[in-house]
Structure 1
Amino acid sequence: MMEPTPFTLAACAEMLFRGLPITERVKRIDALGFQVEIWDWSRHDLKSLAATGATFSSMTGYLEGTLADKDGAERLVETARASIAVAKELGIPRLNLHGTGLDGQGLPIKAGAEMTGPMWITAADTLNRLADLGQQHDVTFVLENLNTAVDHPGVPFARAEDVLALVASVDRPEVRIMLDLYHAQVGEGNLVELVRRCAPYTGEIQVADVPGRCEPGSGEIHYPAIARALNEIGYRGTVGLEGWASGDDELALARFRDAFTL
């Protein structure tokens, strides 16, 4: 008999059940037994989201800004403060970050894939400031790796290797990695070893298959092997489906659950 999943499973309401209003998407995901992820909270009716009674896993933790320049960092920290207030309202423990703000197409507001030494120092300082906020308000900021080959060209601090190095240099529990394995497969590969190396600093795992960014089982990644590796290293946190449905949304969620059931 198969054992239940040792992980907490979540799903992105921005990417599933897209024919429904966002609150109805949240209700459907919650009714199927998953926690719920959202992106830009400023686009949603927060009272309606709270009224669903769903458990939310994460959301975008800023509205504007960038990690690695002074003015951008000020704006990032400022909008992170506003995001914390929303997180408290919705009971969200993790606030997602990127190297820079993204537009509606996922492109960087301020491009700069080449990271200089001063940029690394400024980024680490910004994360330390966010860690101070996290400590004060009991939330965790998670820095997500992205891919620059397909979805997010020009984003700084995009590679998982760079995110790991930056988060490890800060080395504070209020700043962790949002390890997105879809993006890592597109840009870097070697996912099982990556999961193991990032383990001490991982705040949450996000998944989708390659190509297509749909649910596990729709592409080339053997997610049951990823699930076994996570279990072997003792990971007991959240695994979130941040992907589209290749067909029926409920079937996509069932395939996701199956991939992470040991």
Structure 2
Amino acid sequence: MPRFAANLSMMYNEVPFMERFARAAADGFVGVEYLFPYDFEAEKIKEQLNENGLCQALFNAPPGDWAKGERGIASLPGREKEFRASIEKALHYAKVLDCKTIHIMSGNRVPLMLRDHQLSILKNNIALACDMALQGGVTIVLEPINLRSMPEYFLNRQDEAQAIVRELNRTNLAVQFDFFHCQIGEGDVTTRLMRDLPTIGHIQIASVPERHEPDAGELNYPWIFEKLDQIGYGGWVGCEYIPAGETSAGLGWFAPWKAGQKR
């Protein structure tokens, strides 16, 4: 049975961030994820995890200046020192939160820079991050993001991310497979899932095209969830969607899976 993690950056926005852990636990989730934890002390977040019996499934490394439009710095020239410091910070949070997976955003395309040059920067930085994370047992994941959602994002296709994983050949490097992004950017999601399953380290879901609850839109998620069981996927399924209304009221889709959730 898939293990679902509530994404606390998108879900339960009816209450402040630190109150969302209790809401997620009350609704039957045993894991949580979110974009960035860095506005809060790691120890305070850990208290919420412990108090509510939750597992930290995933979070993102620092993305650079989000307010100014940066979406990661891993592929940006001249930011290598800052990148290393960002991974050190992320690994500190991962240790405190007992989180074994960190997503590193690649960053936006650099105008006038050859793609191969920017790709080389990305690979060098990801290799460094994997080496830094290895001792703590942390896996680094890369996520292709569709160009409708982030028109300037550098990494957009599953095969691009998989090629990086194969070339770097790190045991703690995998791909984050987001059904929403894959369906919009590429389609044929089940074929891609089956092709890449051995190097998929985390999965995320949302309806397409609205990015709401996974019980509407053009993807048949009940069938997908059964397929994940059939193929033996044992990782987390992150619910990275924007509720169409009040979060708990929209969890009808979760009811068939709620009783079987395990950390």
TM-score calculated relative to the size of structure 1: 0.86
Q: Size of the alignment, in residue pairs? A: 248
When residues 246 and 113 of structure 1 are mapped into structure 2, their CA distance, relative to the original with a 3 A threshold, is farther
Counterpart for residue 48 of structure 1: 44
Deviation per residue, 1:91-137 (Å, 9 max, x gap): 2111111111xxxxxxx4x6569862233333222221111012122
Partner AA of 1:139 in structure 2: V
Deviation per residue, 1:15-57 (Å, 9 max, x gap): 1111201111111112323211121121234333221123211
Considering Cα pairs closer than 8 Å and 6+ residues apart, tell me whether 1 or 2 has the greater RCO.
Answer: 2
Question: How many Å separate the matches in 2 of 1:8 and 1:72?
Answer: 36
Segments ≥4 residues shifted beyond 6 Å: 259-262
When residues 155 and 113 of structure 1 are mapped into structure 2, their CA distance, relative to the original with a 3 A threshold, is farther
C-alpha deviation, 1:254, in angstroms = 3.7
C-alpha deviation, 1:187, in angstroms = 0.8
Question: How many Å separate the matches in 1 of 2:223 and 2:257?
Answer: 9
Give yes or no for contact 2:156–2:185 (8 Å, CA) kept in 1.
Answer: no
Runs of 5+ consecutive residues of structure 2 not aligned to the other structure: 65-71
C-alpha deviation, 1:75, in angstroms = 2.0
When residues 207 and 115 of structure 1 are mapped into structure 2, their CA distance, relative to the original with a 3 A threshold, is farther
Q: Please, which of 68, 75, 79 is the counterpart of residue 72 of structure 1?
A: 79
Give yes or no for contact 1:115–1:157 (8 Å, CA) kept in 2.
Answer: no
SS at the partner of 1:179? Answer: strand
1:95 aligns with 2:102: yes
Q: Please, which of 6, 9, 13 is the counterpart of residue 14 of structure 1?
A: 9
TM-score calculated relative to the size of structure 2: 0.85
When residues 207 and 19 of structure 1 are mapped into structure 2, their CA distance, relative to the original with a 3 A threshold, is same
RMSD: 2.3
Question: How many Å separate the matches in 2 of 1:17 and 1:45?
Answer: 20
